[in-house]
Structure 1
Amino acid sequence: MDTNIKNKNKDIDWSRYGLGSETAQRVRANTSGFVDLSSNFDYSIGGHQASGANELFAEEQGDVPWWKSNFFISQPVLFGTWDGVFTSCLINIFGVIVFLRSGWIVAEAGIFSAVLIVLSTVFIALISVLSAVGICERCRIESGGVYFVIAHVLGSRFGGSLGLLYCFGQAVGCALNVLGFGESMAELIGLGNSIWSVRFIAGAAVLLLGVINVAGVKWVIKLQFILLIILLLAGLDFMVGSLTHTDLEHGVEGWLSNNLKLNMWSNYSPGSSWFIVFGVFFPTITGILSGINMSGDLKAPSTNIPNGSLAAISTGTFLYLVFVIFLGATCTRSYLMTDYTIAAKVSASSVLLLAGLYVSSMSSCLGAMYGTPRVLQSVALENVIPGIGILGTGRGPNKVPLYSMSVVASVTLIFILIGEINMLAPIVTMPFLLTYASIDYAYFALAQTFDIQHQREQRFHKPRVMSSSIDSEESDLDRLFPERTRHKTLRGESSSGSPSSPEDNETTPIALKTHIHSKPKNWYSNLCNRWLSLFGAVLKILIMFLVNWVYAMVCIMVVFFVWLYIGTANPAVKPGLASEFRLLKWIKILFLRCLGRVYDYEQIVVTPVHPGLNVTSSQLNEDNEDFANRRRYHQSATVHGHMVNIDD
């Protein structure tokens, strides 16, 4: 009898009860936004056939082999601060340049200038991180990463042009990292003198990482944890080795030598300078916004991104300084200049440090190949740039962008075939500097726009106690000016001006949603300063021209032409939250204020009533057949009333 009951339950067609269609609709509804994973999902034996609550994903997954269901993702995966943001950021900023070019940087710039280069690089990147954190705090954040941040604040036109440039810089940066991997691998197997061997190994690495990304974000995160552990062990191995042994044959003389004093000051080779060395080192820090690129796969982006990014940049700065100071104090300048793998000779176990070198190359490329296609996918899905809509296609619950990934991999392979590390580093620097400068300006414009909106809302401020004769007028004004309703809602008032109650919510009109929030009171909120962001934007543009003015002009012109093309081909793109703020107008007002001139005025629209003059109204659509079908409009005039200081 028990067997018959089991067979009967097994043969039940649950679709007859509507379970299949409902869950399919829920899947389709949840693919575009954040997914609530608070409920528990159970799998039957084998792991691929859904049962019980997990029937939510049964229709998409179906009955597939166990190896496919365990390797590919069957449901959306969301991550937190440490597994999603901190890990992604740290493995992207602790890259191949730290292992292969730290010694060369010390040999060229000296320990003092090298430390200054590291701190300057971190400071420049930190301003952009704080600007991005401020944007995440004060407005909503969705999938799309850097593109969404810029487009949401400055508008889709700026977001599309700068998003493409950012994707290009990430692809070239990926080529730079895998070239470092190919260079070290070729030297290990005795083919270091063959440039085509280096390029072949680098190209094979790109294809392998592409396959891992196709498998899904879950496997990317799992692999990143393993790579991060190896990286941290390699850094620890380097520190221990510098204290325990020497290698005079390869220029490693230890801490007791006089190298700390000899390598303190710069000794630039012909054609080199402080800014050239800075341009080579700067791509190390360009992955600091990798956590923002994962915004669509995070549980709480507004809190995960700030905590994870700031923790990663602090850890990365410590590791940068360790490599620069330890190499300068233990090695001779001549070997630092010529031996790019001297860090492996300083370490206690060269095998472990070489493993860290390989991991840093692969992990940086892995992070770039994960985040960059999603930025490109977001640009395509917004229909900002005509002709690239196919790049928005995604596969699986996490919408893996296969076509965008193919484009990024193709650009990476092209630059692998034509470049080398020292040549690609300045090319990578320019797109990132311009993109980060735009993020800095975006936060400044967002804060200024909030002030403009707040000042406008203050005009509707009124006492809470009002007579019944004015209530009707107030209700009419609420309909004309929605800002009044929003302002009173924020103050906890009802439409009549008195404090709101639960009963009022049933009759009070729905207020407009707040798009820009005031600055919250988190431990890092005070670090987000609009004037610091404006200074960072100007500083990054200046550094672009100091590093290489030709590359800087090319990047700016490319962004301008794409911006012009978007405005011509798709003029109906949505504006950003900071569209009310005008930089040129703000500069003009600031200039007039410095001259002591009156600049503030309020625009008032009134009816054309003149004292002492009788005016009669006439309706043209009754007297003239040409205007009979046209709507009636009220005539109005514009009067500019200057704001006067009463104290004067």
Structure 2
Amino acid sequence: MEGNNRDKSKDIDWSRFGLGAETAQRVRANTSGFVDLSNDYGAGGHQASGANELFAEEQGDVPWWKSNFFISQPVLFGTWDGVFTSCLINIFGVIVFLRSGWIVSEAGVMNAVLIVLATVFTALISVLSAVGICERCRIESGGVYFVIAHTLGSRFGGSLGLLYCFGQAVGCALNVLGFGESMAELIGLGSSAWAVQLIAIAAVLLLSVINVAGVKWVIKLQFMLLLILLLAGLDFAVGSFVHTDIEHGVEGWLSDNLEKNMWSNYTEGYSWFTVFGVFFPTITGILSGINMSGDLKAPSTNIPNGTLAAISTGTLLYLVFIIFLGATCVRADLLTDFMIAGKVSAISVLLLAGLYVSSMSSCLGAMYGTPRVLQSIALENVIPGIGILGTGRGPNKVPLYSMACVAVVTFAFILIGNINTLAPIVTMPYLLTYACIDYSYFALAQTFDIQHQREQRFYRSKVHQSYSIEADDNDLDRLFPERTRHKTLRGESSSNSPSSPEENSETTPISPKPHIHSKPKNWYSSLCNRWLSLFGALLKIFIMFLVNYAYAIACITVVFLVWLYIGTANPAVKPGLATDFRFLRWIKNLLLRCCGKRVTDYEQIVVTPVHPGLDVTSSQLNEDNEDFSNRRRYHQSATVHGHMVNIED
């Protein structure tokens, strides 16, 4: 009878109760013994994770126009449609089309190639750091914010997340201004500032409507935009061989322009680092795939494969534009004519289409990912006062209020800036955010080593044999869930533990303890190195001050003030996985070792006084509770430190 009842429960039509297939599978699969308190949301209040919402209206009950366009359908994407496409259309942006020639004229071909490689290398370190974090812990919605908050804590995540959103909004303004410049010149308005700004504002409004329509339409549009971008790049490469325009400075490959343009010739006010600051924003969209983490089928595998493929393709396209322009064009025209790439191409209309698409696509990615980062911060109540930004609409929880907030910031910078002035402003938030991602992976790896060394005590059989401890005490298993995990790994089973999940409900912890996985053996895992990440974090901070020290100080100050505000207004935010690692303590121990002093992580042993005629036993104090570490020890106990303690004695 019991077996028949189980079979009937598996055949329940969950759709009758408003539950989709994914939700039903999650309900049936919840046999791990843990009590699921997360309902349809991820840990910490992230976006809905179920395939359908309860009592969602059926598509057949609404008009076709509303069903097809204005209700976003819950859909998950993979490596190529969700990550590769989003990353590539964001890193192959307007700066490549409009400023590649100017960069060559200022820095020369050699230094321009170095700027491209330095930009890609700087971003690649952060990509590998983010990939390492995705491999070693779970990834939910929230993108860059979730990566930092899950590792370093919500306090750091909230302060850096706001700065990242600001940089994305300003970057969106930069891209649509490039679109406005080219469109104004095309329709005969020249360099009229008001015409450029009006066209840019209209573009932002159009992209906002597309984002409201839903992620499915965003992905479909991105495929078409990416195809146009690739055709524009191919048209430029072919045109450099078959087309010349002497009047506009395009002399072709047979000229000696490559030799003339090889070395730098900076104008007043510009240097290698300022030119680097102008070019760097073109690579800032490389983490767009991570921002889509809530809409991916398998984020831990989709993000690494798609992101690394996109950055490889983007680097090749960067080098093609730099080298081909330097080899075919006169330096004076490269400096003054921002549309010279269109004169090199075989079909100038196709390259103009690529320019428009690059502007729109980069802004489209920013308008999609940035509001969702804001939404995640608001949903977790990290920063008091912005809770309304967490409001979502439809099964995919489209963040309408967050989109409006990002659009307002974008409009403001459209009205006050141009491409050359906005590029350094965009660079600073990204560099600081990427530096924190690098440090997050370093801290995560260091924390894993600390926890691994600490957890080795559970493997020491001599400790269990020497001390009289109730090894199968369910109370200890409830207080320290890692004991249960270690017993499972070692193949142990408690003789007093229940034999079924139902009988084990009384001693089961409410939720599993967050766990840092060891480094897997994927083809890219060896590239994720903690020391490279630490070097990348320090390098990005250094570059910030070289590009513009005033902007760098302003960004760091703003993040620090928001960090202080969160600590004061909301001190009970979630800690991160890397809380066991303390950077200053690590630096102190490292300096002591460099000075020749011995630094050892000692274990603490509580030794009780010996009284004649009274039998006492010693016990090992594994950890001190931080809440009580400052209180005095009572009960006639003393703390003895020793590096090697003979347990049998």
Q: Confirm or deny a common fold (TM above 0.5).
A: yes
Residue of structure 2 in register with 1:419 after alignment: 417
Gaps of 5+ in 2: 1-12, 25-37, 617-632
Would the aligned equivalents of 1:430 and 1:551 in 2 still touch at CA under 8 Å? yes
Partner Cα separation in structure 2 for residue 533 and residue 638 of structure 1? 42
The partner residue of 1:369 within 364, 367, 370 is 367
Residue of structure 2 in register with 1:588 after alignment: 588
CA 1:465 to 1:536, structure 2 compared with 1: closer, same or farther past 3 Å?
Answer: closer
Residue identity in the other structure for 2:485: R
Moved more, 332-341 or 64-73: 64-73
Partner Cα separation in structure 1 for residue 412 and residue 638 of structure 2? 59
Residue of structure 2 in register with 1:494 after alignment: 493
Residue identity in the other structure for 1:360: S
Residue identity in the other structure for 1:113: N
Residue identity in the other structure for 2:194: W
Residues 115-514 of structure 1 mapped to structure 2, 5 A cutoff: 115-463=113-461, 473-476=470-473, 479=477, 482-495=481-494, 513=513
Residue identity in the other structure for 1:105: I
Partner Cα separation in structure 2 for residue 120 and residue 425 of structure 1? 17
CA 1:74 to 1:588, structure 2 compared with 1: closer, same or farther past 3 Å?
Answer: closer
Partner Cα separation in structure 1 for residue 453 and residue 193 of structure 2? 62
Residues 19-98 of structure 1 mapped to structure 2, 5 A cutoff: 21-23=17-19, 30=40, 59=57, 61=59, 63-73=61-71, 75-98=73-96
Residue of structure 1 in register with 2:521 after alignment: 521
Partner Cα separation in structure 2 for residue 506 and residue 430 of structure 1? 56
Moved more, 376-385 or 633-642: 633-642
Would the aligned equivalents of 2:498 and 2:504 in 1 still touch at CA under 8 Å? no
Aligned-pair CA distance for 1:437: 0.2
Query: What percentage of aligned pairs have identical amino acids?
Result: 75
Residue identity in the other structure for 1:491: R
1:416-472, Cα deviation, whole Å (9 max, x unpaired): 0000000000000000000000000000000000000000011221349998x9896
Residue of structure 2 in register with 1:3 after alignment: none
Residue identity in the other structure for 2:287: L
Moved more, 594-603 or 242-251: 594-603
Would the aligned equivalents of 2:48 and 2:397 in 1 still touch at CA under 8 Å? no
Residue of structure 2 in register with 1:627 after alignment: none
Aligned-pair CA distance for 1:644: 5.1
| Number of equivalenced pairs | 595
Aligned-pair CA distance for 1:190: 1.1
Residue of structure 1 in register with 2:571 after alignment: 571
TM-score of the superposition, structure 2-length normalised?
A: 0.86
Would the aligned equivalents of 1:89 and 1:288 in 2 still touch at CA under 8 Å? yes
Residue identity in the other structure for 2:427: T
Secondary structure at the aligned position of 1:104 is classed as: helix
Residue identity in the other structure for 2:604: I
Residue identity in the other structure for 1:522: N
Secondary structure at the aligned position of 1:601 is classed as: coil
Partner Cα separation in structure 2 for residue 82 and residue 34 of structure 1? 23
Partner Cα separation in structure 1 for residue 645 and residue 535 of structure 2? 31
CA 1:518 to 1:181, structure 2 compared with 1: closer, same or farther past 3 Å?
Answer: same
Would the aligned equivalents of 1:602 and 1:640 in 2 still touch at CA under 8 Å? no
Q: Find the structure with the greater CA-based Rg.
A: 1
Partner Cα separation in structure 1 for residue 89 and residue 326 of structure 2? 24
Partner Cα separation in structure 2 for residue 55 and residue 539 of structure 1? 46
Q: How well do the aligned residues superpose, as a CA RMSD in angstroms? A: 3.1
Aligned-pair CA distance for 1:634: 6.6
Would the aligned equivalents of 2:83 and 2:289 in 1 still touch at CA under 8 Å? yes
CA 1:253 to 1:645, structure 2 compared with 1: closer, same or farther past 3 Å?
Answer: farther
Aligned-pair CA distance for 1:485: 3.3
Aligned-pair CA distance for 1:546: 0.4
CA 1:181 to 1:591, structure 2 compared with 1: closer, same or farther past 3 Å?
Answer: same
1:203-224, Cα deviation, whole Å (9 max, x unpaired): 1100110111011101000000
Secondary structure at the aligned position of 2:641 is classed as: strand
Residue identity in the other structure for 1:490: L
Would the aligned equivalents of 2:603 and 2:643 in 1 still touch at CA under 8 Å? no
Partner Cα separation in structure 1 for residue 592 and residue 241 of structure 2? 61
Residue of structure 2 in register with 1:626 after alignment: none
CA 1:421 to 1:640, structure 2 compared with 1: closer, same or farther past 3 Å?
Answer: farther
Residue identity in the other structure for 1:316: G
Would the aligned equivalents of 2:48 and 2:395 in 1 still touch at CA under 8 Å? no
Gaps of 5+ in 1: 1-16, 38-53, 617-632
Aligned-pair CA distance for 1:98: 0.0
Partner Cα separation in structure 2 for residue 645 and residue 284 of structure 1? 57
Residues 610-621 of structure 1 mapped to structure 2, 5 A cutoff: none
CA 1:18 to 1:375, structure 2 compared with 1: closer, same or farther past 3 Å?
Answer: closer
CA 1:597 to 1:359, structure 2 compared with 1: closer, same or farther past 3 Å?
Answer: same
CA 1:19 to 1:86, structure 2 compared with 1: closer, same or farther past 3 Å?
Answer: closer
1:451-506, Cα deviation, whole Å (9 max, x unpaired): 00000011221349998x98963234954755443323223333479xx9999998
